[in-house]
Amino acid sequence: MAKSKIQKKEIVDKVVEKFKTMKSAAFTSISGFTMAQADEIRKAGKEKGVEVFITKKSLLAIAAKEAGLEGVDPKSFNGSILTAISFDDEVSAAKLLKEYSKKNESFVFAAGVLEGKGLSAEEVTQLASLPSKQELLSKMVGSLNAPVSGFVRVLAGNIRGLVTVLDAVAKQKSV
């Protein structure tokens, strides 16, 4: 059923608001996409803080223009477009779509957006291969903790050696 101008305006307004508050977005061309797959990817996206939706390319183009996204022209994308928007992390949207592109060969990156600037399909693929913010933070904590852990082991080794020597002296004196 065709949507009225008011309904289309509401859709555009919602998408503009999402574009203005997002950290990144990834667009993928899909074909042969079933509702079961759509529900599955939406559920996985919700768990990762990524919103997934499908909108007409013309409405997506209007929303991108109104939101001030540079270098993004949804009308130039091929086929139906699935949009994934990340509000928490810069790489979550691209990672989610990359995961599903392994399961479904019809998923092909069309473009992306990072910090309001358009990305090519190749750049989105590279973005998807970066570690997430959580992974980077855990690696940093591990790196910061390593010298302290090493220092504690060295001190424990010295104390262990002293205890061993004192134990040997005590055994020798008791004999």
In this structure, how many other beta carbons lie within 10 angstroms of the beta carbon of residue 119?
Answer: 23
Place of tokens 């499908």: 54
Burial label, 65 (beta-carbon count in 10 A; 0-12, 13-18, 19+): middle
| pLDDT bucket at 159, cuts 50 / 70 / 90 | confident
Question: Quick one: which of 90, 102, 91 has its CA closest to 41?
Answer: 102
For residue 147, give Cα distances in angstroms to 86, 113, 159, 160.
35, 38, 19, 20
Using CA atoms, how far apart are residues 130 and 89, in angstroms rounded to an integer? Answer: 11
CATH class belonging to 5-130: alpha beta
| pLDDT bucket at 14, cuts 50 / 70 / 90 | very high
The model's pTM? 0.72
Using CA atoms, how far apart are residues 168 and 158, in angstroms rounded to an integer? Answer: 15
Q: Please compute the mean of the pLDDT values over residues 167-174 and round it to a whole number.
A: 84
| pLDDT bucket at 1, cuts 50 / 70 / 90 | low
In this predicted model, which residue has the larger pLDDT, 118 or 2? Answer: 118
For residue 155, give Cα distances in angstroms to 77, 127, 161, 167, 169.
62, 43, 10, 18, 21
Q: Where are the domains of the chain?
A: 5-130, 131-175
Question: Quick one: which of 77, 61, 71 has its CA closest to 115?
Answer: 71
